[in-house]
Amino acid sequence: MIESVEAPPESVITIPNGLPGLPQMERSVLLRPEDLDPILLLQSLSDASVSLPVVPARAISPDYHPTLAPEDRRALGLPEDGPSPELLELVVLVLDSQEGVAACNLFAPILVHPLTRIGRQCLQLGSDYPSLLRLEGL
Protein backbone atom coordinates (compact mmCIF):
# COMPACT_ATOMS: atom_id res chain seq x y z
CA MET A 1 0.00 0.00 0.00
CA ILE A 2 1.18 3.51 -0.80
CA GLU A 3 1.82 5.56 2.34
CA SER A 4 2.13 9.03 0.89
CA VAL A 5 1.72 10.64 -2.49
CA GLU A 6 3.34 13.78 -3.84
CA ALA A 7 2.66 15.05 -7.31
CA PRO A 8 3.56 18.10 -9.38
CA PRO A 9 0.54 20.42 -9.74
CA GLU A 10 0.34 19.96 -13.51
CA SER A 11 -0.27 16.24 -13.11
CA VAL A 12 -3.19 16.57 -10.71
CA ILE A 13 -6.60 15.49 -12.01
CA THR A 14 -9.45 17.38 -10.40
CA ILE A 15 -12.83 15.68 -10.23
CA PRO A 16 -15.24 18.14 -8.58
CA ASN A 17 -16.87 16.38 -5.57
CA GLY A 18 -14.91 13.22 -6.36
CA LEU A 19 -16.35 10.03 -7.87
CA PRO A 20 -19.68 8.56 -6.79
CA GLY A 21 -18.95 6.67 -3.57
CA LEU A 22 -15.35 7.92 -3.53
CA PRO A 23 -15.21 11.59 -2.53
CA GLN A 24 -11.48 11.05 -1.86
CA MET A 25 -10.97 11.17 -5.62
CA GLU A 26 -11.51 14.91 -5.85
CA ARG A 27 -7.79 15.35 -6.40
CA SER A 28 -5.83 12.45 -7.83
CA VAL A 29 -2.96 11.51 -10.09
CA LEU A 30 -2.52 8.75 -12.64
CA LEU A 31 0.23 6.33 -11.71
CA ARG A 32 1.73 4.06 -14.38
CA PRO A 33 3.34 1.06 -12.65
CA GLU A 34 5.47 -0.73 -15.23
CA ASP A 35 4.27 -4.18 -14.26
CA LEU A 36 0.63 -3.15 -14.68
CA ASP A 37 0.82 -1.65 -18.18
CA PRO A 38 -1.71 -0.93 -19.77
CA ILE A 39 -3.53 -0.63 -16.43
CA LEU A 40 -3.14 2.69 -14.62
CA LEU A 41 -3.86 3.56 -11.02
CA LEU A 42 -5.91 6.63 -10.25
CA GLN A 43 -4.40 7.51 -6.90
CA SER A 44 -6.21 9.78 -4.46
CA LEU A 45 -4.10 12.64 -3.14
CA SER A 46 -6.17 13.06 0.01
CA ASP A 47 -6.19 9.40 1.04
CA ALA A 48 -3.12 7.35 0.14
CA SER A 49 -5.03 4.11 0.74
CA VAL A 50 -7.50 4.83 -2.06
CA SER A 51 -6.35 3.86 -5.51
CA LEU A 52 -8.56 2.88 -8.43
CA PRO A 53 -7.41 0.62 -11.30
CA VAL A 54 -8.40 2.07 -14.66
CA VAL A 55 -7.51 1.34 -18.24
CA PRO A 56 -7.74 3.46 -21.39
CA ALA A 57 -11.11 2.58 -22.90
CA ARG A 58 -9.59 1.65 -26.25
CA ALA A 59 -7.60 -1.12 -24.56
CA ILE A 60 -10.93 -2.78 -23.80
CA SER A 61 -12.85 -1.92 -26.94
CA PRO A 62 -11.42 -0.02 -29.94
CA ASP A 63 -14.98 0.86 -30.96
CA TYR A 64 -15.92 2.43 -27.64
CA HIS A 65 -17.45 5.87 -28.12
CA PRO A 66 -18.85 7.45 -24.95
CA THR A 67 -21.23 10.36 -25.46
CA LEU A 68 -21.43 13.49 -23.36
CA ALA A 69 -24.64 14.90 -21.91
CA PRO A 70 -24.90 18.71 -21.80
CA GLU A 71 -24.15 18.68 -18.04
CA ASP A 72 -21.05 16.58 -18.70
CA ARG A 73 -19.81 19.09 -21.29
CA ARG A 74 -20.39 21.96 -18.88
CA ALA A 75 -18.62 20.16 -16.04
CA LEU A 76 -15.63 19.40 -18.26
CA GLY A 77 -15.49 22.96 -19.57
CA LEU A 78 -16.25 21.96 -23.16
CA PRO A 79 -18.20 24.09 -25.64
CA GLU A 80 -21.85 23.10 -26.08
CA ASP A 81 -21.17 22.28 -29.69
CA GLY A 82 -18.25 22.42 -32.04
CA PRO A 83 -14.92 20.67 -31.81
CA SER A 84 -13.55 19.54 -28.46
CA PRO A 85 -10.11 18.34 -27.52
CA GLU A 86 -9.67 14.59 -27.42
CA LEU A 87 -10.55 13.54 -23.89
CA LEU A 88 -8.68 10.92 -21.93
CA GLU A 89 -11.18 8.06 -21.62
CA LEU A 90 -10.63 5.78 -18.65
CA VAL A 91 -12.64 2.72 -17.69
CA VAL A 92 -12.79 1.50 -14.08
CA LEU A 93 -11.69 -2.11 -13.52
CA VAL A 94 -13.23 -4.27 -10.81
CA LEU A 95 -11.63 -7.45 -9.53
CA ASP A 96 -13.91 -9.90 -7.79
CA SER A 97 -11.95 -11.77 -5.14
CA GLN A 98 -14.64 -14.40 -4.59
CA GLU A 99 -15.32 -15.28 -8.19
CA GLY A 100 -11.80 -14.52 -9.37
CA VAL A 101 -12.97 -12.57 -12.41
CA ALA A 102 -12.41 -9.05 -13.62
CA ALA A 103 -14.95 -6.67 -15.04
CA CYS A 104 -14.96 -3.14 -16.33
CA ASN A 105 -17.50 -0.35 -16.17
CA LEU A 106 -18.30 0.85 -19.68
CA PHE A 107 -21.48 2.57 -18.48
CA ALA A 108 -19.61 5.19 -16.48
CA PRO A 109 -16.20 6.07 -17.96
CA ILE A 110 -14.03 8.69 -16.32
CA LEU A 111 -13.32 11.37 -18.90
CA VAL A 112 -10.49 13.84 -18.39
CA HIS A 113 -9.89 17.13 -20.24
CA PRO A 114 -6.29 16.95 -21.52
CA LEU A 115 -5.50 20.60 -20.82
CA THR A 116 -7.39 21.54 -17.66
CA ARG A 117 -7.08 18.01 -16.15
CA ILE A 118 -10.69 18.27 -14.98
CA GLY A 119 -12.39 14.90 -14.89
CA ARG A 120 -15.87 13.51 -14.51
CA GLN A 121 -17.51 10.11 -14.45
CA CYS A 122 -19.93 10.46 -17.35
CA LEU A 123 -22.94 8.12 -17.38
CA GLN A 124 -23.87 6.62 -20.74
CA LEU A 125 -27.60 6.92 -20.22
CA GLY A 126 -29.71 5.28 -22.90
CA SER A 127 -26.76 3.24 -24.18
CA ASP A 128 -26.26 -0.52 -24.02
CA TYR A 129 -22.88 -0.16 -22.32
CA PRO A 130 -22.88 -2.37 -19.20
CA SER A 131 -21.77 -1.19 -15.79
CA LEU A 132 -19.97 -4.50 -15.25
CA LEU A 133 -18.66 -6.12 -18.42
CA ARG A 134 -16.93 -9.36 -17.48
CA LEU A 135 -13.48 -9.68 -19.04
CA GLU A 136 -13.72 -13.44 -19.41
CA GLY A 137 -12.44 -13.58 -22.95
CA LEU A 138 -9.05 -12.20 -21.96
Partner 1 sequence: MLVLQRRVGESILLGSEIEVRILGLRNGQVKIGVIAPKHVEIRRNELEEINRRAVVGDWRTSSLAALAQRLKNAGRAEADSKPDPEKRPAEP
Element (H, E) at 134: strand 133-134
Verify binding: residue 69, partner 1, rule CB under 8 A: no
Shortest reach from residue 9's CB to partner 1, in Å:
24
Q: Following DSSP, what letter does each residue of 111-122 receive, concatenated?
A: EE-TTT-BEEE-
Determine, following the binding rule CB under 8 A, whether residue 95 of this chain makes contact with partner 1: yes
Q: Contacts with partner 1: how many residues (CB under 8 A)?
A: 37
Using the contact rule CB under 8 A, the part of the chain among 5-13, 54-62, 70-78, 81-89 near partner 1 is 54-62
Only one of the segments 6-14, 48-56, 63-71, 77-85 lies at the binding site for partner 1 (rule: CB under 8 A); that segment is: 48-56
Q: What is the DSSP string of 40-107?
A: EEEEESS-TT-EEEEEEHHHH-TT------HHHHHHHT--SSS--PPPEEEEEEEEETTTTEEEEEEE
Q: State the residues that interact with partner 1 by CB under 8 A.
A: 1, 19-22, 35-39, 41, 50-53, 55, 59-60, 62, 92-97, 100, 102, 105, 107-108, 121, 123, 131-132, 135, 137-138
